[in-house]
DNA sequence: CGGATGATGACGCCACGATGACAGCCGACG
DNA sequence: CGTCGGCTGTCATCGTGGCGTCATCATCCG
């Protein structure tokens, strides 16, 4: 999962990015409204953390522009305590959730998980697929009750597939959701990670759809 | 564990810091409300001892400001005997416990242990993790019933890990909770102490999570 | 049968972490 | 007041895991 963090205060930004990394996400950063708008418009994110008080372009404006351009990724707004009018404005502008500063990192992560989960149409914090269970709260995948020992990128690939199980996911989709901003797309890294995952997973879970991409499904399960 | 001591009377402050050091804690000091507020807001403490009668800013005010800013560390208020109204005000302001002067150092330490324990969600004064048992009352760690001969810093590292067993603890977390205020963070001391601890502990208890930190867990324990 | 697409084993780089050695500091003790 | 020994922080070195690349092999389809 790839997150855009829009926050002009460097300390908080660093804390956010670190916490996201610890939770298994990849994060891009923006320090001002212009950059934020550009990234959110051009790149692909699974969610956005958006501070409202930004240099160069206000957060609300950025959000409105994204929505007007048809961008639908979940947006979680961060702002100062007690500014309920900002909350109203944010929700009017198309925010999906709202968190007042100061907040606990754990709460932010919980809300973020909920947003991403809902965007994928999942109700529970645990996403299952055949023998696999992804526990989004602790960032682990269990296969038949056993924790899988996955590296960071392996986990991200698998988590993305599990969030979109049954769908065919193209290589470029995976690259966009797994790597931060600047990454050389001309390589076969995705194939390599799929291969590494297959070795660690029960056989037959990752299906190849020739010419299109991959699909995760329980063997013998829903097509 | 790192404690903030807010006390303007020099003799008592020195006694407190000394007693804390003997119990295995590291302490920062503040002599007035302004400094206290600044430290408690910017640094990371596992608990605060807060005298109420302070120069420059009243203790209650300091506490209220911390709470309003989202700081949740346990605070133990110290004040003169029989001023029950201060006790009420302190608890309203978000204090976790209250101790009237004069007090016995042993009682203060006991209450402090209880606060820190509860903040970590532990019920008992003894915290176990596999073959290890941390007795917070006497500041010792037993491995299979044998007392481990640990130096001050080794003990602090291990105690912090035991209080947060199962969680991944980053290097910066450890530094913040083990060293007093001013410490050069650009060094590999943490790695060194982890290595020294590993030599004294049963094998496999401290797990390295690459890029994130360390995790303490009983081998073969909770997945 | 041949071309294209994907799979996979092997390799090597790089950064992070582990660890042994050492030297400064400080307190204990004579 | 001097010496000794135990803690600690620093450094240099070594080991290793993660990851991207490549070459080769398998497979599918026209």
Span A91-103, pLDDT tens digits: 999 999 999 988 8
User: What burial letters (b/e) apply to A157-187, b meaning 16+ CB within 10 Å?
Assistant: bbbbbbbbbeeebebebbbbbbbeeeeeeee
Contact A142 B170 (CB under 8 A): no
Q: Is the pLDDT of residue A184 over 90?
A: no
Radius of gyration of chain B (CA): 18
- State the nearest Cα–Cα gap between A88 and chain B, in angstroms: 22
Chain B closest CA to A100's CA: distance in Å?
10
Does pLDDT of B5 surpass 80?
yes
User: Which residue has better confidence, A81 or B41?
Assistant: B41
pLDDT, chain A, mean: 92
Average pLDDT over residues A160-188: 89
Place B150 in a pLDDT band, splitting at 50, 70 and 90: very high
Q: Residue A101 has what pLDDT?
A: 87
Asked if A102 has any chain B CB less than 8 Å from its own CB, the reply is yes
Which of B69, B72, B168 is closest, CB to CB, to A22?
Answer: B168
Annotate B161-198 with DSSP letters as a single string: HHHTTTSEE-HHHHHHHHS-S----SS-HHHHHHHHHH
Beta strands A26-30 and B47-51 are unpaired
φ/ψ region of A31 (left if φ > 0, alpha if ψ in -120 to 50, else beta) reads alpha
Domains of chain B: 2-119 (3.40.50.2300), 126-216 (1.10.10.10)
Calculate mean pLDDT across residues B77-86: 83
**pTM for this entry:** 0.91
What pLDDT digit, counting tens, does each position of B91-112 carry? 999 999 999 988 999 999 999 9
Q: Per-residue DSSP letters for A20-88?
A: HHHTT-EEEEESSHHHHHHHHHHS--SEEEEESS-SSS-HHHHHHHHHHTT----EEEEEETT-HHHHH
State the count of interchain CB pairs (< 8 A) between A and B.
20
pLDDT value at position B221?
Answer: 54
Q: Would you say residue A83 has pLDDT above 80?
A: no
Q: List all nucleotides in chain D with at least one atom under 7 A from a protein Cβ.
A: 6-12, 17-23, 28-29
| Contact between chains at A22 and B70 (C-beta distance less than 8 A) | no
Q: What integer pLDDT is reported at residue A187 of this predicted model? A: 85
pLDDT in tens, A116-150: 999 999 999 999 999 999 999 989 999 999 899 99
* pLDDT score of A65: 97
Asked if B187 reaches chain A (Cβ–Cβ under 8 Å), the answer is no
How far off is chain B from A81, nearest CA to CA, in Å?
A: 9
Which helix (H) or strand (E) covers residue B152, if one does?
Answer: helix B152-163
As a whole number, mean pLDDT of residues B191-211 equals: 95
């Amino acid at each position: 999962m790839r997150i855009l963090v829009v926050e002009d205060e460097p300390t908080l930004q660093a804390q956010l990015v670190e916490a996201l990394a610890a939770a298994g996400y990849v994060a891009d950063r923006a320090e001002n409204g212009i950059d934020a708008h550009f990234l959110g418009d051009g790149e692909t994110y699974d969610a956005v953390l958006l501070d409202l008080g930004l240099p160069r372009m206000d957060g609300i404006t950025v959000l409105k522009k994204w929505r007007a351009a048809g961008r639908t990724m979940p947006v979680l707004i961060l702002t100062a305590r007690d500014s309920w009018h900002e909350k109203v404005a944010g929700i009017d502008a198309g925010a999906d959730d709202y968190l007042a500063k100061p907040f606990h990192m754990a709460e932010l992560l919980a809300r973020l998980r909920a947003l991403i989960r809902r965007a994928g149409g999942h109700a529970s914090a645990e996403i299952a697929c055949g023998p696999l269970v992804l526990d989004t709260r602790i960032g682990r995948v269990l296969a038949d009750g056993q924790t899988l020992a996955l590296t960071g990128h392996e986990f991200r690939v698998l988590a993305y597939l599990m969030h979109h199980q049954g769908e065919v996911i193209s290589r470029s989709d995976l690259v966009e959701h797994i790597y931060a901003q600047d990454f050389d797309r001309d390589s076969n890294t995705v194939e390599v990670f799929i291969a590494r995952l297959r070795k660690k997973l029960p056989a037959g879970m990752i299906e190849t759809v020739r010419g299109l991409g991959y699909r995760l499904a329980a063997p013998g399960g829903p097509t």
